[in-house]
Amino acid sequence: MFYTYILQSAKSDYWYTGSTKDLRKRFNQHNSGKSSYTKTRGPYKLIYYEACLNEQDARSRELYLKSGMGKRYLKNRLKRFLSLTG
């Protein structure tokens, strides 16, 4: 399986969207500062993920979720979660 995921920074509420084959390992890399894009904003919470059967599907989904329509989709999908976290 391949995963597309959304992390939320505990410091700034910043969202990071990515894809990976090993979600646990990648999540730990983000939280331990081993990812150059996220090392200054951690720690992170995993707030959303999707599983895909192949890497190309996961990457395509990542690109969509980074687009304007994809961000609107996520905000609507995570509406209850976002209202609970403020």
The overall average pLDDT reported for the chain is 92
Supply the pLDDT for residue 84: 63
Question: For the residues 24-36, what does the mean pLDDT come to?
Answer: 94
Under a CB-based contact definition with an 8 Å cutoff, are residues 49 and 77 in contact?
no
Task: Assign 86 a pLDDT band (cuts: 50, 70, 90).
Answer: low
Residue 54 lies in a domain: yes
Identify whether the C-beta of residue 38 lies closer than 8 Å to the C-beta of residue 7.
yes
- The tens digit of pLDDT for each residue in 66-85 reads 999 999 999 998 887 777 66
Residue with more model confidence, 54 or 42: 54
58 in a structural domain: yes
Domain that holds residue 25: 2-81
In a domain, 86, yes or no: no
pTM over 0.75, yes/no: yes
CATH number at residue 25: 3.40.1440
